[in-house]
């Protein structure tokens, strides 16, 4: 069975990217990662990808129009034969044209139980609200930020004495399990 070709976009440490790559190595994985691209030329995650023998592409977006930069990214993804895009800590708003080109085939992982806490500082906002449960979501990317159909979610408890670091760490453990499972589900079409 040929595997679906996935491109991952990152801006930082890339721990979710690493979880996708690790899972892709299993024989029964329905996808393979063919390129990791970044808008941050020294994003730490790029090193991990290179060490895994995965093609990387990085260019700063600074000074470019959003749509022009996204066209460059799109060209790299297509040249690599990408069929599905996974955003993994990609800290860029996407142009409508880019989102439309990958409609239904691009997912993102967000550290909250969407529709709660779209945007930044999700862990602090959950703590401030006194929530007893928190978590992460994988969703289809649409033009609205952290919107779109939810593919999968995982919950964690918020424990007494939690701060933003302990809570983020607990959520991240779940992210690393959830994202590969959600990508496999999308690729398999179920
Ligand atoms: C993760 O918390 C993810 O949910 C959010 O950004 C963070 C990226 O972390 N979108 P990493 O780069 O995958 O380690």
pLDDT of 1 higher than 90:
no
Token output for 69: 């930069």
Q: What is the pLDDT of residue 71?
A: 98
Using alpha carbons, select from 71, 63, 67 the residue that is nearest to residue 37.
Answer: 71
To 5 degrees, how large is the angle CA 125–CA 103–CA 23? 70
* 87 CA: nearest ligand 1 atom: 10
* Nearest-angstrom CA–CA distance, 16 and 103: 21
- With a 6 Å cutoff on the Cβ, whether 89 touches ligand 1 is yes
**The model's pTM:** 0.97
DSSP 3-state percent helix, strand, coil across the chain (nearest 5): 35, 25, 40
CATH number for the domain formed by residue range(s) 4-188: 3.40.50.170
pLDDT tens for 6-48 read 999 999 999 999 999 999 999 999 999 999 999 999 999 999 9
CB 52 within 8 A of CB 45: no
Residue 190 is predicted with a pLDDT of 63
Parallel/antiparallel/unpaired status of strands 84-87 and 4-10 = parallel
CA of 28 to the centre of ligand 1 (A): 25
């Amino acid at each position: 069975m040929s595997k679906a070709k996935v491109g991952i976009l990152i801006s930082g440490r890339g721990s979710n990217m690493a979880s996708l790559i690790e899972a892709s190595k299993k024989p029964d994985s329905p996808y393979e990662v063919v390129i990791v691209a970044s808008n941050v030329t020294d994003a730490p995650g790029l090193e991990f990808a290179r060490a895994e023998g995965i093609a990387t592409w990085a260019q700063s977006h600074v000074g470019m129009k959003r749509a022009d930069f996204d066209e460059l990214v799109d060209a790299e993804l297509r040249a690599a034969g990408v069929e599905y895009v996974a955003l993994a800590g990609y800290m860029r708003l996407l142009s409508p044209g880019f989102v439309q080109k990958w409609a239904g085939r691009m997912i993102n992982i967000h550290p909250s139980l969407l529709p709660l806490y779209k945007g930044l500082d999700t862990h602090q906002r959950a703590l401030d609200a006194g929530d007893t449960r928190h978590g992460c979501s994988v969703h289809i990317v649409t033009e609205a930020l952290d919107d779109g159909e939810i593919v999968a979610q995982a919950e964690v408890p918020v424990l007494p004495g939690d701060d933003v670091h302990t809570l983020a760490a607990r959520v991240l453990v779940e992210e690393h399990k959830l994202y590969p499972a959600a990508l496999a589900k999308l690729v398999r079409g179920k």
